[in-house]
Amino acid sequence: MRITSGGPAAQDGPGPDLSDPRFYGTGDPHPVWARLRAEDPVHRQCPVADKPAFWAVTRYADVSRVLARHGEFTAARGNILTTLGRTDIAGGKMLAVCDPPLHRRLKEPLVPHLSRPAVRAHEPALREFSRRLLSAGARQDTWDFAAEAAFYPVAVAGLLLGVPEAAWDRLKHFTYAAVAESDPDYAPAGSSRSQVLSRAHSEIFLHFATEVARPGRERADDLIGALLRAAPDDEPLSRQEVILNAYSLLIGATVTTSHAAAGGLLALLENPAEYARWRDSGDTPALVEEILRWTSPANHALRHTTGELRLGDTRLGAGEPVTAWLGSANRDESVFPEPFRFAVDRRPNRHIAFGVGAHRCIGAHVARLALTVLFEEIARNFERIELAGEPRHLHSTFIAGIKNLPVRTVLAPDGAALRDLPPLGKTPEDDL
């Protein structure tokens, strides 16, 4: 998805199909969202072909309400547009697809492993992953940052879930296929969206089913071990719940980290004065918050109304699908001064890239630390970075992502040590 910088151009006439992944791969939704915020903040997307109608919510306050008030807007019927109009088998079993109090039952076992202190203990491993990612810049002057960064969240999730490195490459490919099933790089010629999704889900579920079945797996000090040991309300989680939530954690890591990293680096390269301001200040935590606002990598969340209600000036009926567009909310002019300016020292920065309420991303501490460490290592290891080609964007309604970001780099003196590190990942095999 292209990210407008400097303010959106005027957008007149009927808008595009907001459920079309190709629009986000080749277009720029920001002019559309800006018009909707101003003129039609609770917008009805009419049915297109065989896709049902839904409501699109674009203002910060409305998006926050939809995400926070689970009594009015339920996640149990599906949380992304690809589930619209069909039953989500994960409903009531996966953390992202259920409401409190059931949500607490699934979340409680994971919280100790994803707290700020617990995450901080993984910093040395995250720093090693970051340096291995950047080692591509020590082997060649021109390289694809986004392609290398695609392995970063799988490595991070692998660390937390106990996934061996030998499985990272295959899981990366199918994880991306699961969230970008219409992208030509992940959908084989002649395959339908449902076929791509079915294979991706089957491969990932099979991996975690095999992992969960290993003898003694419940003793491991990782997230899968925590789920297997958990007995909230004195009732153990089912194997299906464990597998579905391991899948959800893998998807969640992929949504945020790699695409925020690629989009953040692109924003710095397109705004050299801000790049210099960050390098001079060294305030990487503030940079990361602006990157999260700017990229809003989780593009939307789907909910269904639990009853009749009024949202703004619009009355919605019971059971109606509502999409909350986080990328639009994070450009709301009433909340963010100069929202189309990338500002590395933006304060306050009340972005909702991680969502709000009970469904606020459980891995927020991990994502923040992983991004902070990565950009610290970028500053330490490269004297200069510049664009070396046009970015290519992911065809996905769910992820605002960049799949290719060619860069040209010059190593700093400290960067010479990157030459001794193995790469973080490799290109998926052709026969996947």
Q: Is residue 25 part of a domain?
A: yes
Question: How confident is the model at residue 432, as a pLDDT?
Answer: 44
Q: Is residue 90 part of a domain?
A: yes
Sign of the CA dihedral 71, 81, 181, 257?
negative
The mean pLDDT value for 137-164 works out to 94
Q: For 111-134, write each residue's pLDDT tens digit.
A: 999 999 999 999 999 999 999 999
Q: Is residue 293 part of a domain?
A: yes
Q: For 175-215, write each residue's pLDDT tens digit.
A: 989 988 889 998 877 788 889 989 999 999 999 999 999 99
Q: Is residue 428 part of a domain?
A: no
Q: Is the pLDDT of residue 430 over 50?
A: no
Q: For 36-64, write each residue's pLDDT tens digit.
A: 999 999 999 988 777 899 999 999 999 99
Q: For 386-402, write each residue's pLDDT tens digit.
A: 999 999 999 999 999 99
Total domains in the chain come to 1
Residue 4: band (very low, low, confident or very high) from pLDDT cuts 50, 70, 90: low
Residue 85: band (very low, low, confident or very high) from pLDDT cuts 50, 70, 90: confident
Q: Is residue 354 part of a domain?
A: yes
Both structure tokens of 118: 């617990």
Question: How confident is the model at residue 428, as a pLDDT?
Answer: 39
3-state secondary structure of 56: strand
Q: Is residue 186 part of a domain?
A: yes
| Residue range(s) defining the domain that contains residue 303 | 21-420
Q: For 230-274, write each residue's pLDDT tens digit.
A: 988 888 999 999 999 999 999 888 777 889 999 999 999 999 999
3-state secondary structure of 76: coil
Question: How confident is the model at residue 7, as a pLDDT?
Answer: 59
Q: Is the pLDDT of residue 427 over 60?
A: no
Question: How confident is the model at residue 5, as a pLDDT?
Answer: 58
User: 76-80 contacts: CB < 8 A, separation 24 or more?
Assistant: 77/304, 78/302, 78/304, 79/301, 79/302, 79/303, 79/359, 80/300, 80/301, 80/302, 80/397, 80/398
Beta bridge partners of 74: 304
Q: Is residue 1 part of a domain?
A: no
- Report the candidate in 26, 133, 78 with the shortest Cα–Cα distance to residue 320: 78
Sign of the CA dihedral 169, 361, 239, 158?
positive
CATH number for position 189: 1.10.630.10
Q: Is residue 429 part of a domain?
A: no
Q: For 303-342, write each residue's pLDDT tens digit.
A: 999 999 999 999 999 999 999 999 999 999 999 999 999 9
